[in-house]
Amino acid sequence: MLKFNLYSPEFDADPFPVYKTLRDEHPSYWYEETGIWIYSRYADIVTALNDWETYSSSKGNLVDELPNRAGNTLGTTDPPRHDHLKALIQKAVTKRALDHILEPAVSACRTHLDALAGEKTFDFVNDYSSNVTVDLLFYLFNMPKENQQIVRDKAVLMVQSDAATRQKGPAQLEAFEWMTNYAGDLIEERKKNPGDDLLSNFITAEINGEKLKEREVLLTVTTLIMAGIESLSGFMSVFAMNLADHADARRAIAADPSLIPDAMEESLRYNTSAQRFKRTLMKDVNIHGQTMKAGDPLILAYGSANRDERQFENPDVYDITRKPKGHLGFGGGVHACLGTAIARMACKVAFEEFIGRYPEFERTQETLPWVPSSNFRSPSQLELRVG
């Protein structure tokens, strides 16, 4: 009988042995404790991602879903509504928009690195990755800078789960409400003074000649702020952790920064910050000798799929020359991450700048504190000693 606590600091610290047992012995596993199925094999997860009619996101895609989000955002609608919404937002994330934010991204990285000049140790998460991603998102949405700190704090809380229940607790719900109000004010202001930014374009957009529903605009903007800040910052921190733990890879990159994009893809495979997302079954599914019932919730464990030996050779080896085709670090299917281009660009710049200044760095903590979350896995603090 397999025993593990999916929602514990021990699991956060190293989920990979349990994932392996799940893949080998219980590929469709009913996690009795909270009543949810888990898919852990690459092939099953890809099947689910390509069949949204059976594996729906419309009841929410977070394992600890926030109130009212289901049915009202990109991540929590099914096609065709989802596809219309995605096309609208994707337009704003064009190559031109990306070129436009390259310079602010470089400048944000330099500002935060300058602030660390002379320090021998610092916290990569709170002194660098988080600051850089907040600056970038504020630039992208043209948001007033005076709110940066509080928006960042609320975004961090929103992605977390209550440490004990691993559902959203009072602190997370309060942060969500705060962010919804903040997004609401922002939307009202943009309606009065539209600009040429991602938010203004989205707010004024129409689908088949119809304006978007107010609730849809509000919750999508709220989610974009959360995802834009925390998904990216969390992943950068995981990437830095991998490089601190793999000196050969770090040295190779320091000698040749053009290796950064490949190393980043390997980190997205090896331990993506987006470990688990949820779907709900719209019909009965018979799989691996079991019947999963319509209405049952299901976790797609991307973090496990990426370590599936049926898909990737020597999956537990961190190899920056691997070029891991088809990894699920950004999910897949119709719900594949909208922010991939931004994330790849921002991460490349952030690490070019970082490693340019600090070719040598190492972790000072033997064990790391992890963000308590049912979906994400990233350190809440990563103290580095730089040489």
Name the residues that contact ligand HEM, by CB under 6 A.
57, 61, 74-75, 86, 224, 227-228, 231-232, 235, 272-274, 277, 302, 329-331, 335, 337-339, 342-343
**Interior/surface letters 198-229, b for 16+ CB within 10 angstroms, e for the rest:** bbbbbbebebeeeebeeebbbbbbbbbbbbbb
Nearest residue (CB) to ligand HEM, 131 versus 231: 231
Nearest residue (CB) to ligand HEM, 235 versus 318: 235
Instruction: Sort residue 357 into left (φ over 0), alpha (ψ -120 to 50) or beta.
Output: alpha
Nearest residue (CB) to ligand HEM, 72 versus 273: 273
Nearest residue (CB) to ligand HEM, 24 versus 190: 190
At its nearest, how many Å lie between ligand HEM and the CB of residue 270? 12
Alpha-carbon span 358 to 361, nearest angstrom: 7
At its nearest, how many Å lie between ligand HEM and the CB of residue 81? 11
Nearest residue (CB) to ligand HEM, 278 versus 322: 278
At its nearest, how many Å lie between ligand HEM and the CB of residue 154? 16
CB-based contact 158:226 (threshold 8 Å): yes
Nearest residue (CB) to ligand HEM, 100 versus 164: 100
At its nearest, how many Å lie between ligand HEM and the CB of residue 126? 18
* Whole-Å CA distances, 96 to 101, 115, 178: 9, 30, 32
**Three-point CA angle 312, 361, 118, nearest 5°:** 150
Alpha-carbon span 129 to 236, nearest angstrom: 6
At its nearest, how many Å lie between ligand HEM and the CB of residue 155? 11
At its nearest, how many Å lie between ligand HEM and the CB of residue 108? 14
* Whole-Å CA distances, 352 to 88, 180, 260, 358: 31, 34, 7, 10
Nearest residue (CB) to ligand HEM, 351 versus 387: 351
CB-based contact 383:121 (threshold 8 Å): yes
At its nearest, how many Å lie between ligand HEM and the CB of residue 224? 6
Nearest residue (CB) to ligand HEM, 61 versus 200: 61
Residue nearest to ligand HEM (CB): 339
Alpha-carbon span 301 to 25, nearest angstrom: 15
User: Would you report the helix, strand and coil content of the chain in percent, each value rounded to 5?
Assistant: 50, 10, 35
At its nearest, how many Å lie between ligand HEM and the CB of residue 118? 30
Give the residue ranges of DSSP H helices in the chain: 9-13, 16-25, 42-49, 81-92, 95-114, 124, 130-141, 148-159, 170-192, 198-203, 214-226, 232-245, 247-255, 260-271, 302-305, 340-357
